[in-house]
Amino acid sequence: MGFSKLPPGPRYVRRTIDLHRLLAYALRRLAVLESWQLADLARIMIIVGLTVRELLKAQEGIRSKHRLIAVEALRQFSPDGAKRAYKLRTSDRKGEWVTVHLPAGLLTHVATYAKVNGYSQNEALAMFLKDGMRCYLAGRKRFLRALRVAAGEATSP
């Protein structure tokens, strides 16, 4: 019954992100070490990064609902969809391309966030991915430290 009520249109949108070479390397290495598909891990890291950023903003009281509503209205009613001008890529770029499939609703939220804060969508996605990686790696480091402490307590008489 619930599946018949889904709205028409794509649920996931394919996006290619230009990441800094070191961030792309770290993401690929983590995907191999944890047995993840690269696109799935990137999607999760973007969602975690966006969530952490939004929670920090809400906690600090920085977010302005009126500003978000105004930008969303501008984006919906502008004739060209408020798209940025095309920027030529140079051959000396220091990044790598990573393709992810993101939920359409999440991508709308990222576009609004990018517009409000003056970022391109690529910059915003790369920033969220980086924040998600930091959060994940910090949690993993604490988990491994706790395992070492627990192993040390178990072996000591």
Per-residue pLDDT of the chain (157 residues; tens, 9 = 90+): 455 565 666 688 888 999 888 889 999 999 999 899 999 999 999 998 888 888 777 665 544 554 555 555 545 444 444 444 444 454 456 788 888 888 888 888 899 989 988 899 999 999 999 999 998 888 889 999 999 998 887 676 6
Residue at 110 is within a domain:
yes
Which tokens sit at 40? 């799935």
Tally of structural domains, the chain: 1
Q: What is the pLDDT of residue 105?
A: 85
Closest CA to 84 of 127, 128, 123, 129: 123
Which tokens sit at 38? 């690269």
Q: In angstroms, rounded to a whole number, what is the distance separating the alpha carbons of residues 20 and 39?
A: 16
| pTM of this structure | 0.68
Residue 45 contacts residue 125 (beta carbons within 8 Å): no
* Surface-to-core class of residue 20, CB atoms within 10 Å of its CB (0-12 exposed, 13-18 middle, 19+ buried): middle
Residue at 44 is within a domain:
yes
Q: What is the DSSP string of 79-116?
A: TTTTPPPP-PPPTT--EEEEEEEEEHHHHHHHHHHHHH
- Please give the residue range of the domain that contains residue 17: 9-155
